[in-house]
């Protein structure tokens, strides 16, 4: 290994367990993988978890890189470009991959036992730093404690940033925007308006104020004019807006539910629109995400017949200690995880108090036939046709898991993702790396998807106060 001007990144095991394609995400800089990392990858390859699958994919990529390479070639560094998916690209300039082909020893504080895997990686990093004083040697790890220890022994370390969708969760697309105070009055004369299928549309020219609009973004006004619209089409010259349907009126209730605020009204417009195939609702506890999604699902499945079945699922990550294995069928095992959905279903199906036991049982039997509870663990290879799929607690999914789920949708299927990035239970995800953030950012340009961030709580005054002050 020469004293190249490029940086040298030492990859920790957790980076490759999280993202096998990390090998190709360091541009022209070199990568170093120690024997300890290879041992930990070998130990983690068994199983059906997402981490195990990532480890096996990493091993396959490394095997491709070293195939037909001599020991001298491995010592000199292997070019990553030759197995990159876009290796024909003229702009692709990747560095080399190096392995620990000879012992690398450096002194560690006596308080750090060298037999521990993490400490051996630190020792390797310090040895490389001594061997190549002219190179910027950096340990890349997703382990916070590892970064703290690395700094304490004098080795520069960084988090793995490439999996971040945004620099800050506050920059995430909300799906709606408050219009300037006199927007409608100032632009009314320039607007072209027409009606089509009992809907009102407006067309206006693009300017500096609306250059940043996205398809299916909601525009709301907070003054007396009450002008609220949805951006249905936007290009470099003009934008087409559709006047928003008002689900706050009792005559427009959905399965007995009316929107309680503007945010819920925006969400209901997309949940009830069959042209929108994917909806993501993000919000804190009590904003009505689950209730709105379930009401729209029941209305369009049982009353309108647009979908033939409702499928509910969620990531099964416990908040406290795991209670162990659960007995029964797939649906019975998932039932304890679906408490939130069951609570909302009870609200939606409650009677006026005069229904007989037979009527209640008939309603429950009908719902059981049309609502199925599925586990995410058995989604691979399936195709869902004409289904209304509700994915709860989506903030606990990785981008790859989210892709796996969404690609299961067949013709006529609608997927609704619900989540709160402030309540992530997975130890491997953050607000900027969760699959929910990823999907909101990637889908905001597609005209058949919509996103709304709900901020106003409607559960109860107690829940709202606790959410704001605890």
List domains and CATH numbers for the chain. Answer: 5-161 (3.40.50.1010), 164-243 (no CATH), 272-317+328-349+358-469 (3.40.50.300)
pLDDT of 319 reads 36
Q: Pairing relation of β-strands 30-33 and 137-140?
A: unpaired
Q: Is 240 helix (H, G, I), strand (E, B) or coil?
A: strand
* E-state strands within 147-237: 157-158, 176-178, 192-196, 199-205, 218-220, 229-234
Taking Cα atoms as reference points, which of 398, 378, 321 lies closest to residue 51?
Answer: 398
pLDDT of 455 reads 87
Asked if 213 and 231 touch (Cβ cutoff 8 Å), the reply is: yes
Taking Cα atoms as reference points, which of 120, 119, 137 lies closest to residue 128?
Answer: 137
Tell me the pLDDT tens digit for each residue of 383-409: 899 999 999 889 988 888 888 889 989
Tell me the pLDDT tens digit for each residue of 124-150: 999 999 988 889 999 999 888 999 999
CA 11 to chain centre: 24
How many Cβ atoms from other residues are within 10 Å of residue 302's Cβ?
Answer: 15
Give the burial class of 50: count Cβ atoms within 10 A of its Cβ; 0-12 exposed, 13-18 middle, 19 or more buried. middle
Residues of the chain scoring pLDDT < 70 = 1-5, 85-92, 165-168, 209-210, 223-226, 316-342, 350-366, 368, 377-378
User: Residues for the chain: how many in total?
Assistant: 470
Euclidean distance between CA atoms 74 and 71, whole angstroms: 5
């Amino acid at each position: 290994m020469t004293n190249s001007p490029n940086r040298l990144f030492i990859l920790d095991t957790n980076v490759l367990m999280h993202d096998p394609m990390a090998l190709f995400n360091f541009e022209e800089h070199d990568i170093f993988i120690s024997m300890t990392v290879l041992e930990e990858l070998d130990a983690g390859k068994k199983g059906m978890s997402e981490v195990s699958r990532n480890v096996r994919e990493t091993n396959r990529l490394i095997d491709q890189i070293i195939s037909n390479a001599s020991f001298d070639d491995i010592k000199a560094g292997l070019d990553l470009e030759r197995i990159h998916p876009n290796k024909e690209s003229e702009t692709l300039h990747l560095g080399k991959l190096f392995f620990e082909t000879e012992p690398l020893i450096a002194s560690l504080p006596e308080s750090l036992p060298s037999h521990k895997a993490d400490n051996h990686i630190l020792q390797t990093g310090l040895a490389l730093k001594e061997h190549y004083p002219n190179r910027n040697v950096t340990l890349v790890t997703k382990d916070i404690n590892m970064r703290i220890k690395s700094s304490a022994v004098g080795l520069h370390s960084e988090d793995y940033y490439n999996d971040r969708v945004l620099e800050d969760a506050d920059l995430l697309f909300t799906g709606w925007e408050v219009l300037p105070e006199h927007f409608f009055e100032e632009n009314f004369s320039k607007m072209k308006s027409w009606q089509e299928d009992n809907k009102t549309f407006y067309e206006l020219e693009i300017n500096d104020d609306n250059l940043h609009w996205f398809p299916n973004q909601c525009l709301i006004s907070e003054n007396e004019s009450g002008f609220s619209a949805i951006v249905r089409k936007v290009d470099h010259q003009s934008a087409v807006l559709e006047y928003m349907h008002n689900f706050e009126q009792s005559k427009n209730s959905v399965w007995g539910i009316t929107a309680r605020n503007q945010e819920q009204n925006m969400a209901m417009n997309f949940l009830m629109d069959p042209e929108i195939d994917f909806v993501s609702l993000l919000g804190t506890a009590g904003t009505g995400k689950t209730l709105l999604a379930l009401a729209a699902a029941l209305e369009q499945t049982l009353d309108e017949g647009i979908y033939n079945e409702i499928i509910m699922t969620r990531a099964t990550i416990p908040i406290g200690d795991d209670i162990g294995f659960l007995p029964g069928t797939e649906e019975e095992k998932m039932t304890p995880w679906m408490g939130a959905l069951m609570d909302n279903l009870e609200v939606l199906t409650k009677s006026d108090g005069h229904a007989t036991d037979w009527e209640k049982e008939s309603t429950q039997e009908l719902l059981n036939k049309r609502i199925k509870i599925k586990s995410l663990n058995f989604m691979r290879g399936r195709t869902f046709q004409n289904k209304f799929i509700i994915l709860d607690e989506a903030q606990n999914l990785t981008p790859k898991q989210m892709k796996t789920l969404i690609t299961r949708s067949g013709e006529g299927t609608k997927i609704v993702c619900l989540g709160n990035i402030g309540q992530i239970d997975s130890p491997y995800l953050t607000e900027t790396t969760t699959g929910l953030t990823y999907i909101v950012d990637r889908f905001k340009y597609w005209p058949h998807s919509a996103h709304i961030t709900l901020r106003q709580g409607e559960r109860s005054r107690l829940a709202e106060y606790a959410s704001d002050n605890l």
